[in-house]
């Protein structure tokens, strides 16, 4: 088992968003979080990544933790593409950045400062970072934003290789990555139920 989520409830700005979320992710599996804008995909991923505490429940991750790729790419603007990857590879104790450069087609951009990359190129570098973490569990929030069709295909291939090597991926994405083996989890049934006005728990009733 790679990730086990039990009865998780998450909030944003003090308001409950999702509750009773539960699922298990095994090595080699991908799970796609679905649901309309604002349902709480980002919030759920951040909670599982340990970036914000859940309101209730728990998530069990591998002992080494997960690699999280959120909306911010976390790039060092003045460092080159290769230097950025080397920086992250050192942090995670990995050696060779060449496979990551190759996987996201960044070899020709290796010496370019990150600040001089296009939005899609930055995103490719952010995703290449996943490959130098050596982490088995990837948590991905809209990983394909800014990517063109060819880059989406590269990324899908990188995920597939990751799964084939025993990794797992949990991701929020609105686009079809062509990963037919991915499971889908629709978050709509987990939307937190807020008490309706005057139905108990509200200000009026409390002070009536």
Ligand X SMILES: Nc1ncnc2c1ncn2[C@@H]1O[C@H](COP(=O)(O)OP(=O)(O)OP(=O)(O)O)[C@@H](O)[C@H]1O
Task: Catalog residues that contact ligand X under the rule CB under 6 A.
Answer: 12-13, 17, 35, 37-43, 172
Residue 42 or 84: which CB sits closer to ligand X? 42
Distance CA 118, CA 116 (A): 7
- With beta carbons less than 8 A apart as the criterion, state whether 25 and 2 touch: yes
Residue 44 or 61: which CB sits closer to ligand X? 44
**Shortest CB 93 distance to ligand X, Å:** 31
Q: Phi/psi of residue 64, each to 5°?
A: -85, -5
**Shortest CB 199 distance to ligand X, Å:** 21
- With beta carbons less than 8 A apart as the criterion, state whether 57 and 40 touch: no
Residue 97 or 172: which CB sits closer to ligand X? 172
Which residue shows structure tokens 């409950």? 16
| DSSP letter (8 states) at residue 55 | S
Distance CA 36, CA 52 (A): 21
Residue nearest to ligand X (CB): 13
**Shortest CB 5 distance to ligand X, Å:** 15
- Residue 123: its H or E element: helix 119-133
Residue 39 or 152: which CB sits closer to ligand X? 39
**Shortest CB 200 distance to ligand X, Å:** 23
Residue 17 or 152: which CB sits closer to ligand X? 17
Which residue shows structure tokens 């914000």? 52
């Amino acid at each position: 088992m790679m990730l086990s989520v039990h009865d998780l409830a998450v909030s944003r700005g003090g308001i409950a968003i999702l509750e009773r979320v539960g699922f298990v992710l095994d090595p080699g599996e991908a799970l796609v979080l679905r649901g309309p804008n604002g349902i709480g995909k980002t919030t759920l991923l951040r909670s599982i990544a340990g970036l914000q505490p859940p309101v209730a429940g728990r998530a069990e991750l591998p002992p080494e933790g997960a690699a999280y790729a959120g909306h911010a790419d976390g790039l060092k603007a003045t460092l080159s593409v290769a230097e950025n990857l080397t920086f992250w590879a050192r942090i995670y104790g990995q050696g060779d950045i060449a496979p990551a450069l190759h996987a996201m087609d960044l070899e020709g951009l290796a010496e370019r400062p990150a600040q001089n990359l296009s939005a899609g190129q930055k995103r490719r570098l952010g995703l290449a970072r996943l490959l130098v973490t050596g982490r088995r569990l990837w948590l991905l929030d809209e990983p394909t934003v800014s990517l063109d069709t060819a880059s989406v295909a590269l990324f899908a291939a990188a995920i597939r290789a990751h799964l084939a090597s025993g990794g797992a991926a949990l991701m929020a994405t609105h686009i079809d990555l062509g990963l037919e083996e991915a499971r889908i989890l629709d978050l709509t049934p987990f939307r937190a139920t807020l008490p309706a006005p005057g139905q108990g728990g509200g200000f009026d009733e409390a002070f009536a």
